[in-house]
Amino acid sequence: MNHKCACLGEWSGAMLAGLFAALPAPAAGLSGNGTLSVVWENDVFARTDQYYSNGLQVSWVPDGGGPPPAWAVNFARLLPWFPRESEIRHGYAFGQSMYTASDITLAEPPAGEPPYAGWLYGSIGMSAWTGRQADQLTLTLGIVGPASLAEPAQKNFHKIVGADEPRGWDSQLENEPGVVLTYLRRWRGRTAEVPGGFELDLTPHVGGALGNVYTYANAGLILRYGKHLPQDDAPLRIQPGTPGFGNFVSADDLGWYVFAGFDSQAVARNIFLDGNTFRDSRSVDKKPLVGDFQIGFSLTWRTARLSYAQILRTREYEGQPDQEGLGAVSLTVPLP
């Protein structure tokens, strides 16, 4: 097995151990079981193994059957752009992202390529939903660098499966605490019935992020076409992909849709291209405007949702030879 195949399992090892050790902590202090979502993004779906190579995120949204906690409602009411007559939801996430060179067998990564990097983080998010408008605010705290555990996670898995040893991690970004505040607003148009008993809707969005890991403004839209379109948020993605939210409306019948969309970003800061904020590190000259184009499908059956998106990301830095492709799989299920 070569190193390109090995990326199928790079989310295991130390990463999974950390994820499942951390999950009970927020759940223990709050009532309701809620829903658990797992999102896996990997460039193996585009038959590559480079740059943004792997991302795994686990999120938990408490049960919406009862009233939200008072602190969540009080905080949401302090935000003037959150509609006062709205349903307040909140959730938590924990994840890791991994960035490597185009050839992991080289101890010195090729000149002109982004640095090796790992990003280990936790997030708390809040949304206000009116039925036609969704506002989402997320605070993410984490660590970039060796403390992210990306290096041992990849090396241990490659050792287990007998794949090529990743040799470029000595050049990775240095340890740096990371903070990102993300805001997103979506508007859902009225669902239109089309011939054959199918449905169609269009959801534009605008937003942005502020922090030392990411700073950008973004805008885009998603077009959905299918049967029994659920009134849920967009399929889950990992930042800087347009984030969804881990709650959705269950359905008695099988609901499905295919979707296509894009997200354009004006980027002021991307630590995985710009390098460390306060220390010298490897870096590349980023492009100020980038975009994600995605197509995919989503299936909803009762209280479970499965989605897949194929993403094409435009060139992110000067001299990048190709556009980057990746796939995103997400599964949302109720907790027992």
13: left (phi over 0), alpha (psi -120 to 50) or beta: left
Mean pLDDT score of the chain: 83
Beta strands at 324-334 and 304-313: parallel, antiparallel or unpaired = antiparallel
Contact present, 284 and 113 (Cβ < 8 Å): yes
> What is the rounded CA–CA span in Å between residue 282 and residue 171?
8
Q: pLDDT-based confidence at 244, cuts 50/70/90?
A: low
pLDDT digits (tens, 9 = 90+) for 32-89: 478 899 999 987 765 555 688 889 999 998 876 567 788 888 888 888 888 888 888 8
pLDDT digits (tens, 9 = 90+) for 87-130: 888 889 999 999 998 888 898 988 899 999 999 999 998 888 88
> What is the rounded CA–CA span in Å between residue 11 and residue 13?
7
- The pair of structure tokens assigned to 245 is 């939210």
Residue 333 has pLDDT above 50, yes or no: yes
Contact present, 43 and 325 (Cβ < 8 Å): yes
Choice among 62-71, 156-165, 203-212, 288-297 with the minimum mean pLDDT: 62-71
Residue with tokens 């973004």: 218
> What is the rounded CA–CA span in Å between residue 44 and residue 89?
34
For 3-334, CATH gives: 2.40.128.140
152 upstream amide cis, omega within 30 of 0: no
> What is the rounded CA–CA span in Å between residue 146 and residue 154?
12
CA distances from 113 to 25, 109, 284 (A): 38, 7, 7
Q: Which residue has the higher pLDDT, 14 or 328?
A: 328
Residue with tokens 């060179």: 101
Position 282 scores a pLDDT of 94
Position 324 scores a pLDDT of 83
pLDDT digits (tens, 9 = 90+) for 278-315: 999 999 999 999 999 999 999 888 778 899 999 999 99
pTM of structure: 0.86
What residues pair up with 294 in beta bridges, in sequence order?
A: 261, 311
Q: Please state the domain extents for the chain.
A: 3-334
Q: pLDDT-based confidence at 245, cuts 50/70/90?
A: low
Residue 24 has pLDDT above 60, yes or no: no
Taking the CA atoms of residue 320, residue 156, residue 164 and residue 144 in that order, the dihedral angle to the nearest 10 degrees is 20
Contact present, 313 and 291 (Cβ < 8 Å): yes
